[in-house]
Structure 1
């Protein structure tokens, strides 16, 4: 994802059922010229929505959609006690950062918001580990049996795409991979159709951009 260059203050909306927690987070914003608070009734204008909860669970994730249903919404969650939600589902919903409520300073809070606005993220080490395990399990139990990787591209599609990027003709690719030329065409055009890639150059560009090749 390309980074967003900050040219103005970061607009932040804060949601918390605890008035004291909310007041503390708002004070961090007001004491830093890089951020400003967005009122709750204008939450859709926020660059980042901060959601503070005691326990992050399935109902917390439902809350995110209810607060701001923009596809590009970015959330930072401040969690007081424990995390019980599906980490991958949280990321899919736009959660880009998680902070444990009792373990960050005002500067860390502001820096995290800036990072999220720039397109980055910040998860505690234990949640990163959980997310990696979820991705690994998905690869092992769902994708691998279907011959796919986490990118949705199969190893043989990657092989063909890499050789196309090297300038090989389809006949040369077929020889190198011990496929028929017809099979190479089937692999390449199947990939292009599935990922809505216009031509071979677009396919190569996609492969480079996503780190496949």
Structure 2
């Protein structure tokens, strides 16, 4: 029988105190699926595990900095996460949050592998809190301004959906009871605001974001 090829995920650990760093890296060292990399090799990391006691301005700045510097997926291991901070950390592009009390070697390894595969992980209570915050944001901030969480208004979503179905400007105008000029203006505004190149690019973006 041939040897089984094991996937090794390159992982970097960022901790705000040396004891946490030693503790988390120690949990990874005996995991054959994990390959630890040093700070100097962060650009090579597929997943970066950030360890913190809580979430404050320093932690948020570190998360944003890592998100800008690398393409790695970010996991946050945290002692305490206030519901009011949840949306802020999600906006930093986190792939998952792990309570420190649940950060066993097995849990960390499975979360790293899930993140490397593009999957996110959030404890049920935090997921519920996040959904409440998104609903509140939609209800109190976006809806009064005619927007959705995606940053698009309902008219823009309707136009993109019809573009994805292959309809041209005249057909879209007829279906939505708009003038052709209005349809063109809607598409133009979406392209400019989101930095998209053309209509196919806009459709691809909307599909990728799960809007259509």
Question: Could you say which TM-score interval applies, normalised by the shorter chain?
Answer: 0.7 to 0.9
Find the residue that maps to 2:202 and give its secondary structure. Answer: helix
Mapping of 1:31-180 within 5 angstroms?
A: 31-64=30-63, 70-80=69-79, 82-84=80-82, 86-180=85-179
Runs of 4+ in 1 over 6 A off after TM superposition: none
Alpha-carbon offset, residue 166 of structure 1? 3.1
Alpha-carbon offset, residue 151 of structure 1? 1.2
CA pair 159-128 structure 1, distance change in 2 beyond 3 A? same
Tell me, in whole angstroms, the C-alpha distance in 2 between the residues paired with 1:135 and 1:23. Answer: 36
CA pair 167-117 structure 1, distance change in 2 beyond 3 A? closer
RMSD, aligned α-carbons: 2.9
The total of aligned residue pairs comes to 207
Alpha-carbon offset, residue 180 of structure 1? 2.0
Alpha-carbon offset, residue 113 of structure 1? 1.0
Unaligned runs of 5+ in 1: 1-5
Normalised by the length of structure 2, the TM-score is 0.79
CA pair 7-188 structure 1, distance change in 2 beyond 3 A? farther
Tell me, in whole angstroms, the C-alpha distance in 1 between the residues paired with 2:171 and 2:191. Answer: 19
Indicate if the aligned counterparts of 1:73 and 1:94 stay in contact, CA closer than 8 A: no
CA pair 201-36 structure 1, distance change in 2 beyond 3 A? closer
Tell me, in whole angstroms, the C-alpha distance in 2 between the residues paired with 1:154 and 1:198. Answer: 20
Indicate if the aligned counterparts of 2:55 and 2:85 stay in contact, CA closer than 8 A: no
Indicate if the aligned counterparts of 1:48 and 1:73 stay in contact, CA closer than 8 A: yes
Unaligned runs of 5+ in 2: none
Tell me, in whole angstroms, the C-alpha distance in 1 between the residues paired with 2:87 and 2:150. Answer: 15
Indicate if the aligned counterparts of 1:44 and 1:68 stay in contact, CA closer than 8 A: no
The question of 1:184 aligning with 2:190 is answered no
Tell me, in whole angstroms, the C-alpha distance in 1 between the residues paired with 2:65 and 2:195. Answer: 32
